[in-house]
A and B are shown apart, each in its own frame.
Chain A
């Protein structure tokens, strides 16, 4: 049997290569991350590598997941197409167990091959990562000797073989169930009806999965979203065949004419296959949507903050990064000079000190003055109440109005609660109490506002010359700083988009593979179409239509799942230190539509060419 299995593998080597490739991508990324992290451990430059490794392991994990979906799909299709051959094996005496084992053995062999290829490709990935870390992150990894540890080899084999064998379990069972008579009939791949248990299990799984979302938001447990996502995948996979066909019909409605209609029917003809293909693509698109929603939500909140910040120039002694904790006391004469400038309409001093044992920042400012330059957005109490003995706290501190706290030598009562901003979330108290909690009497920061009608650049040079005589005192343009901040944030979001794009690309590969396998399966039908007058061009269009529809079904699923999880993630984040306001990035998501259509066309390119090359004569004369 082993010999028969290996012979079969060789006979189907192209198909096996496709299946293996789906697994190799994820394995290679994981291998690369492990190799680079071992190399960093040895050379002692772990810090720079930590973030890169985490991101790459996550990306690799997702790629392995998508790969597993694709492997499962290609194996199922292959088993269905081999029904006759399997029936023949049964006829000549192979029993069910032997067929099952033969399929599992096949999976294991492909897994081992994928692990070896993954290790080799992982070496390349590690070299690329090293270049990125050394140039982009100022890392210092040695130019020679990437470390390949036993642990890496073991992990890579596990990551390649375990999902491979797992995804072969169901196809193996199906192979075992093939009846000997199947050898005698030309078996049309059956459109099996969904069993009741499958529908019930699918509905329950999806219900639990979506149920975790509000729970995660309410309990602020972001980690709950992970099992939620896993269950969603399982649920969609279980229920997929129920709606994939119908969804394909709906999505394909704009396609007109005989060719478009045939493409639509083809996409809908085996709902299980379409569902499986679409779910592989769904993972990537859900992640892409999720990342878009999260970053849009954070950006929306950050922009809100900028709006509330009406400071033009910040004057202080604390280096280029305006973080309050780094501020150093300034000469008080600086404030005097600033107040003397006619170009400025407001000069507000804010002095901060880390006063309690948790290192929380306590800042003193004249509340009325502060309210002129920063919209604190007080939700309870009022800023006028922040007089001696009073303190304004951010919503996030969790302290209610009227709560008391003992800091240094002062007893403070919460008299106002304000809406937190990314730039300001300290405890705010009256200047009168600042000395009693251990604050330095010298000013640390001056927030200034340019008077109406004064040119900002002129005001800036006035401020700069006013502080010129005080070494170390810097003038910050807040708007410039915000822009810089936003640019950094957008760079980070681009990295995440690119990584989730990898998952989407793999999903696309899945679409291409399934289409190609379907083309092989439908060779006779394609030949018939050519015989009765379909032009090659029309045949290609038909296959492309199918590709676009399957891609759109996957995108629709991904969009729905991504938005739901994005909403939950934004809800969880809103309670963290990261200001977040749930926002649907309509523009960015709308851009996905033409991208998905283009992706579907791309995925169908090779299958379409395969289809157009079908030999009419052979297709219509095959016994």
Chain B
């Protein structure tokens, strides 16, 4: 079998806060075109891992790569450019700039780069997130689910190497949450987009191709094609199950 292309890679990454070890010698390789979920109890380091992989946070040791670009060799300007051009973000809340309309929020990364959006790609993205009639609205006029879908569209628009989603359904009711997860799944299936999602919700993890479990700053489990039941199992007693 052909080795899958790696979009994002962490090699022996460690990070310590004052007295807490947030990441302890973590090595992961995220395959391109796959939907990876990162799970773990709060304080397990899953969010820290995502922030480091995305170039939002720095590590104490180890190496981080996005498409062969060594993040640790980049300065702030280069990291910012990388986020703008090669990374898409969907946060738990406050994803959109309140003064911009939905459409303007979507193209913001491109406009910051001084690029004009590719029309046909824009149309496909807009079609995928089903926002056609809400594009001229400000975030305050959109529901939470709609806001998250705008955020997904923004994350896709620059055709990034990877989309990082940090608890993207954490503030949504289950229906709106399911909408957003289906959308992320479609991004992977239809556009071949690489997606990494941090979540504590087994249902959300059920949409992923792979589930990574973190505890105390270490990867403790790695589950291909996770089902909700499997994830629930691991969460109840990850060590016992392993």
> Quick one: which of B51, B56, B94, B166 contacts A525, CB cutoff 8 A?
B94
Pairwise interchain contact A257-B111, C-beta atoms closer than 8 A = yes
Looking at B76, B91, B112, B140, the one whose CB has the most chain A CB atoms below 10 A away is B112
Pairwise interchain contact B80-A535, C-beta atoms closer than 8 A = yes
Pairwise interchain contact B56-A616, C-beta atoms closer than 8 A = yes
Query: Which residues of the partner chain B approach A617 to less than 8 Å between Cβ atoms?
Result: 51, 56-57
Identify which of B95-103, B124-132, B172-180, B225-233 touches chain A.
B95-103
Pairwise interchain contact B111-A529, C-beta atoms closer than 8 A = no
Pairwise interchain contact B47-A532, C-beta atoms closer than 8 A = no
Query: Which residues of the partner chain B approach A262 to less than 8 Å between Cβ atoms?
Result: 97, 99-100
With the chains together, A536 CA to B80 CA distance in Å? Answer: 9
**B77: interface (CB < 8 Å):** yes
Pairwise interchain contact A536-B109, C-beta atoms closer than 8 A = no
Query: Which residues of the partner chain A approach B154 to less than 8 Å between Cβ atoms?
Result: 532
**B67: interface (CB < 8 Å):** no
CB distance from B82 to the nearest CB of A (A): 8
Pairwise interchain contact B112-A528, C-beta atoms closer than 8 A = no
CB distance from B207 to the nearest CB of A (A): 23
Pairwise interchain contact A533-B84, C-beta atoms closer than 8 A = yes
Pairwise interchain contact A538-B89, C-beta atoms closer than 8 A = no
**B159: interface (CB < 8 Å):** no
Contacting residues of chain B (34-65) with chain A, CB-CB under 8 angstroms? 47, 51, 56-57
Q: A533-B83, A620-B56 are in contact. Are A258 and B94 (CB under 8 A)?
A: no
Residue of B nearest to A268 (CB): B99
> Quick one: which of B85, B99, B111 contacts A265, CB cutoff 8 A?
B99
With the chains together, A532 CA to B51 CA distance in Å? Answer: 13
Q: A258-B112, A265-B99, A621-B47 are in contact. Are A532 and B89 (CB under 8 A)?
A: yes
Residue of A nearest to B140 (CB): A188
**B240: interface (CB < 8 Å):** no
With the chains together, A536 CA to B99 CA distance in Å? Answer: 19
Please report whether the interface of chain A is mostly helix, strand, loop or mixed according to DSSP: helix
**B186: interface (CB < 8 Å):** no
A-contact 0/1 string along B105-145, CB 8 Å cutoff: 00011011110000000000000000000000000100000
B-contact 0/1 string along A369-404, CB 8 Å cutoff: 000000000000000000000000000000000000
Q: A531-B56, A534-B80, A535-B77 are in contact. Are A269 and B112 (CB under 8 A)?
A: no
CB distance from B170 to the nearest CB of A (A): 10
Q: A257-B114, A262-B100, A617-B51 are in contact. Are A528 and B80 (CB under 8 A)?
A: no
> Quick one: which of A259, A525, A532 contacts B109, CB cutoff 8 A?
A532
With the chains together, A535 CA to B97 CA distance in Å? Answer: 16
**B81: interface (CB < 8 Å):** yes
With the chains together, A534 CA to B105 CA distance in Å? Answer: 13
> Quick one: which of A258, A259, A531, A536 contacts B89, CB cutoff 8 A?
A531
Query: Which residues of the partner chain A approach B56 to less than 8 Å between Cβ atoms?
Result: 531, 616-617, 620
**A53: interface (CB < 8 Å):** no
Residue of A nearest to B83 (CB): A533
Pairwise interchain contact A532-B99, C-beta atoms closer than 8 A = no
Which residues does A use to contact B, with CB under 8 Å?
A: 188, 257-259, 262, 265-266, 269, 524-525, 528-536, 538, 616-617, 620-621
25 A–B contacts from the bound complex (CB under 8 Å): A188-B140, A258-B111, A258-B112, A262-B97, A262-B99, A269-B99, A525-B94, A525-B97, A528-B95, A531-B83, A531-B89, A532-B84, A532-B112, A533-B84, A533-B109, A534-B112, A535-B77, A536-B76, A536-B77, A617-B51, A617-B56, A617-B57, A620-B89, A620-B94, A620-B166
Which residues does B use to contact A, with CB under 8 Å?
A: 47, 51, 56-57, 76-77, 80-81, 83-85, 89, 91, 94-100, 108-109, 111-114, 140, 154, 166
Report, nearest first, the 9 A-B pairs whose CB atoms are least far apart.
A533-B84, A258-B111, A265-B99, A533-B109, A533-B83, A535-B80, A269-B99, A533-B112, A524-B94
Given contacts A262-B100, A536-B80, 13 further A-B contacts (CB under 8 A): A257-B111, A258-B112, A262-B97, A265-B100, A524-B94, A531-B91, A532-B83, A532-B109, A533-B109, A534-B84, A534-B112, A617-B56, A621-B166
